[in-house]
Amino acid sequence: MTEDALTGPEGPGATPLRTPAATAAPGAGTLLRLLRDGRPRTRSELAAVTGLARSTVTQRVDALLASGLIGPAGEAVSTGGRPPTTFSFRPDARVVLAADLGATHARLALTDMSGTVLAQNRADIDIAQGPEPVLDWVVDHGRALLDGAGRGTDDLLGVGVGLPGPVQHSTGRAVNPPIMPGWDDFDVPGYVRGRISRPVLVDNDVNIMAIGEHHVAWPTASHLLFVKVATGIGCGIVSEGNVYRGAQGAAGDMGHIHVPSGADRPCRCGNTGCLEAVASGHALAEALTAQGVPASGARDVVELSRNGSVPALRALRQAGRDVGEVLAASVNMFNPSVIVVGGALAMAGDHLLAGVREVIYQRSLPLATENLSIVSSKAGEGAGVIGAAVMVIEHCLSPDHAESLVMGA
């Protein structure tokens, strides 16, 4: 898949969540985009909106009908004579396979073309096993989900994958990932396509979580930050409704920004004093263990806090303050309307969030925080797979790419 095919018209820095208006004469893909809003329309209404001749609309509607992407949706009110037929988008016409790969787990889901999860699977998998065994698990269990839903690979629109490290979105390759030995520059799309001949899109896990959260809970928010606090710490940035990735896909890597409380604590990136070195699940578990409260990772920290462990609650509150230190600067620079805090540590309740809010409201400008919402994730653990699915749906059903999909029906 070419760089243009993956990045779209806005270049590699941003991938559209909202499809831009077509500049060429509207084709079947543009009609599909109109119908994806869920509102049934007649041929006459489509002709009026697009400016196309009725005969041209009929031809393109027939092509969409043949592809199965749209279907009849009843009859409109007659203005005299036979009532005209309306047509609407069929989200169940194709399915999407979505994988959210973390440092120590994998979540896999089968969705329809609205992003609704139809079936899913989760397993404890170490990303350090390397790309082949992990991606083989994705493909093998993806086929099992397809079989269980009574669908075949012919029904598969595409595959979306999220990785726990920096990803060059235009190529789908990981770039110097600190916790992913063997993954650097590995051709993830090419490997998966070799086993499932469908489009494959890859991004880092925080970006797909941002897409998923935006889709589920904040579809009208133009400026959103999604912060994942788990084994690692990262931030997905939605700007003007688009995911912003930066020049090399490294935008939002807030876990390696220096924080005052970090002092000289070493970080896995090779620097010292990084946010991740003091506020990640691994860092909190180490600190608690040193205090005589055994913990091996983020989930243990969450469990301790739920059981009322005072050291764990204090550690979470301080981690929130440390995250807030970095986000306060981001609020002043980016001025988001929503900050969503997710990831494993966010499952502990309001303790982490309270620390984040405390520092942001203290250190950010009043104008920037006047209408700012700082909330927990509403999509929860499903944000990643939903986001990976939406990434594929928006790409494959964009006007340009939907044309080839319809022609190949």
**What pLDDT digit, counting tens, does each position of 169-189 carry?**
999 999 988 889 999 999 999
pLDDT tier, 24 (very low <50, low <70, confident <90, very high otherwise): very low
Q: What radius of gyration do the chain's Cα atoms show?
A: 23
pLDDT tier, 403 (very low <50, low <70, confident <90, very high otherwise): confident
CA 266, CA 268: separation in Å to the nearest integer? Answer: 7
DSSP code, position 197: -
CA 29, CA 9: separation in Å to the nearest integer? Answer: 15
Q: And the tokens for 50?
A: 């697009």
CA 305, CA 297: separation in Å to the nearest integer? Answer: 13
Percent of the chain with pLDDT over 70: 92
Q: And the tokens for 13?
A: 């820095």
CA distances from 53 to 21, 41, 58, 89, 216 (A): 19, 16, 9, 21, 37
Reduce the secondary structure of 218-258 to three states and give it as a string.
Answer: CCCCCEEEEEEECCCEEEEEEECCEEECCCCCCCCCHHHCE
What pLDDT is attached to residue 123?
95
User: Is the predicted pLDDT of residue 316 greater than 80, yes or no?
Assistant: yes
User: Is the predicted pLDDT of residue 145 greater than 90, yes or no?
Assistant: yes
- Contact call for residues 231 and 280 (beta carbons, < 8 A): yes
pTM score of the predicted model: 0.88
Query: Residue 229 CB: number of other CB atoms within 10 A?
Result: 32
Q: Are strands 173-174 and 156-163 parallel, antiparallel or unpaired?
A: unpaired
**What pLDDT digit, counting tens, does each position of 40-69 carry?**
999 999 999 999 899 999 999 999 999 999
